[in-house]
Structure 1
């Protein structure tokens, strides 16, 4: 299995972008282009409420750590977890220790989303990547995590199955492939393009059609 060096690590948040659209990922992470829309603004507002590294919650015997730095050399990713819930563990096996809190703990990643649960795995792969980071950092195994959706004000359980883990690795590999070769994939228009904040930069309806640049320029200039 490949292990990436520090200088080769990519942003973990990008795995959700590439799961949604490879071209979107390239615009953001290769070309440094970004645009806001209502969905991105709502998402930022929700994260501002949870990205407080000093906030901890001792209710139900659990500890909530915010904005925790995480990384994985086998995925080649680094970033921050919205929240990690530390659940008390009775044994040292498959547990971690925390200087501020005596005993043994099992970390469970939690990711906050502004919308509602999706039919695909876009949100789940980001959460799974966080779990793989924690597993690698602490030599443990994590079976599940949670996605909290602001629209329904409820969190849903995500099992880190073999299939979800394999998908996470495939997407990570694809990110590194595109980054290494500096490739921005061509557009392919789909219904989901309408919700993308980069729609007006990408213009998928226009450039996904089989036409030359000259014909496009002629059309818009006439």
Structure 2
């Protein structure tokens, strides 16, 4: 795998996409849009558990354990992809291997949005350390174990395409439509998003019409 060494004009001008936005958009485009475009976020029990979990790993620091050097809350970036963010944990092994470890409070879902975020962290570390990072890990507090992922070409393509999609959303300022499916039941932002109301656009506009259309009695001045 050849790593980029120089940047063209397009790469220098790329609008930076937060790593966390990749996971949010992969899970629900509208959720990502509400956070990025309207600065909206609502906590629930699940998000608070995640915040408490990250308090344990988000304090910047440099620790050693045997032959492994562990970095916490490490700022990372990749200019060729237009990515920026913070890695929960990065392990530097004695053999030169670099392993980003993303911490999640919920159960791990293979091939899910967390894989994209972890792969993006690996891609950032490659540019920063000028060496391949073919693996990443996701620690699930629910499972109480690490799940290893391979940062293959398919995952890299997904990261690149998703970053471009989010960048287009940020540029146009267009909020994605609601999904109104099973994901909404687990989303802390469902109340502000109003997916069921907005997804039924025709019913929504009909309700507005009925609300603001004068009745016969109003027309008669009664």
Q: Would you say the 8 A contact 2:62–2:69 is kept in 1?
A: no
**Aligned partners of 2:40, 2:19: CA distance in 1, in Å?**
17
**Structure 1: gaps (5+ residues):** 90-104
1:23 aligns with 2:30: yes
**Aligned partners of 1:197, 1:73: CA distance in 2, in Å?**
32
**Aligned partners of 1:132, 1:108: CA distance in 2, in Å?**
11
SS at match of 1:56: strand
1:77 to 83, 94, 100: 83
Structure with greater Cα Rg:
2
Report the alpha carbon displacement of residue 4 of structure 1 after superposing the two structures with TM. 4.0
Cα deviations by residue, 1:179-198 (Å, 9 ceiling, x for unpaired): 01111011121111111111
Match in the other structure for 1:187: 178
Report the alpha carbon displacement of residue 27 of structure 1 after superposing the two structures with TM. 0.2
Query: How many residues are paired up?
Result: 204
**Aligned partners of 2:134, 2:60: CA distance in 1, in Å?**
24
Q: What is the aligned-residue RMSD (CA, Å)?
A: 1.9
1:53 aligns with 2:60: yes
CA pair 219-205 structure 1, distance change in 2 beyond 3 A: farther
Q: Would you say the 8 A contact 2:90–2:101 is kept in 1?
A: yes
Cα deviations by residue, 1:55-96 (Å, 9 ceiling, x for unpaired): 51323x11111000101112212111000001112xxxxxxx
**Structure 2: gaps (5+ residues):** 1-7, 213-222
Q: Would you say the 8 A contact 1:4–1:75 is kept in 2?
A: no
SS at match of 1:189: coil
SS at match of 1:211: helix
Q: Would you say the 8 A contact 1:108–1:142 is kept in 2?
A: yes
SS at match of 1:3: helix
Match in the other structure for 2:217: none
1:210 aligns with 2:210: no
**Aligned partners of 1:219, 1:55: CA distance in 2, in Å?**
62
Cα deviations by residue, 1:191-211 (Å, 9 ceiling, x for unpaired): 111111110011111110132
**Aligned partners of 1:177, 1:18: CA distance in 2, in Å?**
12
Match in the other structure for 2:50: 43
The TM-score, its normalising length taken from structure 1, stands at 0.86
1:66 aligns with 2:57: no
CA pair 137-120 structure 1, distance change in 2 beyond 3 A: same
